[in-house]
Structure 1
């Protein structure tokens, strides 16, 4: 595995960003994905992609450093670029620059929004299984988490949400629903009807909705992203967006908070010094991605769609006991490994016996036991080798009925 290629992808390596970096080159990286585990482990866990930066992004960063433009962030260029991207990509004119604010990153933005629309006595509803930092950050603020599990189909369950909203209302007068859209880890892309029903339900129960839409640009062919603030009834909602996931810019932190028309005053109460927290180079990079990085993104989405199909085929061939519902968005795959007999944390088995690092299912809350999250944003070659190793690890544990070598 000394080089990346487009095995079974059907996508040209020239246009697929996932096929342009060799494994040897990836091993030189010092970020979390390629630094935490020893070289014999294939890392398919944390949300980093095995890609080179889009050319406009790399150029913008290089130009900024060359001219010494490395100070504090200022202005509205990021929000303006996001408004243009939203208009062209989603046909949505709802990014009103005057109702936006720069944030250090999405999770920090969520905490700041929680501080202005609720108190530590209030509860926060999440749809589990869900991105683990939702639990970590919210609980660190002293707020109570109320879980509203997704349905068996991986979609929003309005009955479970209503029960959670009722429980949340008993703990404080200003409950919040922290929505993940598209959903991490399942890759579910919520529909306009689902979001409209959610907005109506939240209004009936006095719940404010804050939507984490960091994966919004990563909706694969066949699905359509719907911004929460675009649906009827979401006027007092808030959302956070960022170019960090879609263009692999997690190390260049920046995000944008958006307010519905009835939430503008709440957004204005976030302290000005918080808005000075993003990386200036991050703002420059994200702005360039949104303005000029769409062709690169389109190539990435084609590659991710091919990897999604490749993974489904690999699992059917080598690990038929794994239940996998291909996601409509993100570059994450949620694997139901309960039939393999590997216990509550199959990722631990894959790591110990197969040298493949996935995210542990139980960390995603209720519904995560027996599951693992896999990062699809790798070369087809690496993905193929990872599934082969996972099958071998499962065989080593005696689960031969659900494994094909």
Structure 2
């Protein structure tokens, strides 16, 4: 069993200047945006320190080891064979999604998103010239799944792409191989493309099984595009590097026709850090991160049961984001606002993820047990105070 990676102490985290630590005053515990509180993987630190020392801060090269590094990572972690020649890079997953969507839909055509979902998806579809078609996930009571029947109805009505979140943000669901294959077959039947955001894939717990969309079957290879990055697992969002991946000649030709500027937007530091993150040298660190997140997702369940017994929470199979239903607290459709005011804890607003997010919050548990515990205890104290005042 891997030794859990330890998060940095709060005083050191407050020295950071990123969004998580600058959006709110210092009396607020920030558990909203998807940044983590762990030190960088040692191989990443070494790569970046070397680049600074030798002044390796120029334009990203036309030939880098990035594609080969990712192909090795995908084989080791997912058992997925990726052709490095069918990988191109860009600045981030959002940019990759937009550039692909622009080439697989016509202006005004519908793009399916499976709500509740990562809020920028709505804007990315709009930026690409499409119209958002919302198809909520099915809630079976024990987990979430793609609503293939409603997806087929939308495809039959003219939707020309599916923007998939795999693993899913905010629920942490890992879509089954069978459902992904079924989705691919539907997309092929109706002449649509599937663009799969797989940025949380490296954070799938060992107890679950992640299936890359392009590995789910032959239909997926023909209709699919995957976009991924080391940025979520290794906390590298500010360094700007993502990968766009295909598995068939026709889809690969779409990537080859992208303007060279799309690839040149890749950050030099992002590329160097991603190569280090995807190297075998970082596997032990990633296993330790997964162990720490496993501890925290279980800790969160215990804390909620003790301090917010009205909360409904299912432990995610991937990622460090928890989707928590606080409807029964009676704090309205956007309880994160009251939590920020009363408890000085910043959580992501549930309604931002779609209508299904009413009454929900998204909690980032990629932090220390101490910070997570203090945050939920603060919310529990606020709950008690509000209940007492209502008597």
Which band: TM-score by shorter chain? over 0.9
Secondary structure at the residue paired with 1:389?
A: helix
Secondary structure at the residue paired with 2:163?
A: strand
What is residue 319 of structure 1 aligned with on the other side?
Answer: 308
Q: Is the 8 Å Cα contact of residues 341 and 399 (structure 1) preserved in structure 2?
A: no
Does 1:331 pair with 2:331? no
Q: What displacement does 1:400 show?
A: 9.7
Q: Distance in 1 between matches of 2:369 and 2:233?
A: 19
What is residue 234 of structure 1 aligned with on the other side?
Answer: 220
Q: What displacement does 1:242 show?
A: 0.6
Q: What displacement does 1:20 show?
A: 4.0
What is residue 266 of structure 1 aligned with on the other side?
Answer: 254
What is residue 383 of structure 2 aligned with on the other side?
Answer: 394
Does 1:67 pair with 2:51? no
Q: What displacement does 1:207 show?
A: 1.6
Q: What displacement does 1:76 show?
A: 3.6
Q: Distance in 2 between matches of 1:86 and 1:316?
A: 37
Q: Is the 8 Å Cα contact of residues 332 and 373 (structure 1) preserved in structure 2?
A: yes
Q: Distance in 2 between matches of 1:399 and 1:137?
A: 44
What is residue 157 of structure 1 aligned with on the other side?
Answer: 147
Secondary structure at the residue paired with 2:126?
A: helix
What is residue 172 of structure 2 aligned with on the other side?
Answer: 187
Q: What whole-Å deviation, never above 9, does each CA across 1:73-105 have from its counterpart, x for those lacking one?
A: 121411110000011111111x21111111111
Q: What displacement does 1:159 show?
A: 1.6
Q: Is the 8 Å Cα contact of residues 104 and 278 (structure 1) preserved in structure 2?
A: yes
- Map 1:207-226 to 2 at 5 A: 207-226=192-211
Which residue among 173, 181, 184 is the counterpart of 1:196? 181
Q: Distance in 2 between matches of 1:208 and 1:108?
A: 17
Q: What displacement does 1:320 show?
A: 1.1
Q: Is the 8 Å Cα contact of residues 7 and 367 (structure 2) preserved in structure 1?
A: no
Secondary structure at the residue paired with 1:374?
A: strand
Does 1:177 pair with 2:165? no
Q: Distance in 2 between matches of 1:400 and 1:124?
A: 47
Which residue among 25, 39, 42 is the counterpart of 1:38? 25
Q: What displacement does 1:183 show?
A: 0.2
Return the TM-score normalized by structure 2. 0.95
> Taking structure 1 as reference, are residues 141 and 396 closer, same or farther at Cα in structure 2, changes over 3 Å only?
farther
Q: What displacement does 1:220 show?
A: 1.0
What is residue 144 of structure 1 aligned with on the other side?
Answer: 131
Secondary structure at the residue paired with 1:43?
A: strand
Q: Distance in 2 between matches of 1:228 and 1:306?
A: 28
> Taking structure 1 as reference, are residues 322 and 400 closer, same or farther at Cα in structure 2, changes over 3 Å only?
farther
Q: Distance in 1 between matches of 2:120 and 2:388?
A: 32
Which residue among 295, 312, 329 is the counterpart of 1:340? 329
User: Structure 1: any 5+ residue segments left out of the alignment?
Assistant: 1-10, 170-174
* Number of residue-to-residue matches in the alignment: 382
Q: What whole-Å deviation, never above 9, does each CA across 1:192-242 have from its counterpart, x for those lacking one?
A: 111111111212222210000001100013101110001211122101111
- Map 1:227-306 to 2 at 5 A: 227-232=212-217, 233-235=219-221, 236-261=223-248, 262-291=250-279, 292-306=281-295
Q: What whole-Å deviation, never above 9, does each CA across 1:47-87 have from its counterpart, x for those lacking one?
A: 00001111110000111111111111121411110000011
Q: Distance in 2 between matches of 1:399 and 1:360?
A: 25
Q: Is the 8 Å Cα contact of residues 83 and 247 (structure 2) preserved in structure 1?
A: no
What is residue 55 of structure 1 aligned with on the other side?
Answer: 42
Q: Distance in 2 between matches of 1:211 and 1:377?
A: 23
The root-mean-square deviation of aligned C-alpha atoms, in Å, is: 1.6
Q: Is the 8 Å Cα contact of residues 177 and 216 (structure 2) preserved in structure 1?
A: yes
Q: What whole-Å deviation, never above 9, does each CA across 1:330-384 have from its counterpart, x for those lacking one?
A: 1100001111101000111110100000000000012111100000101001111
User: Structure 2: any 5+ residue segments left out of the alignment?
Assistant: none
Q: Distance in 1 between matches of 2:211 and 2:253?
A: 24
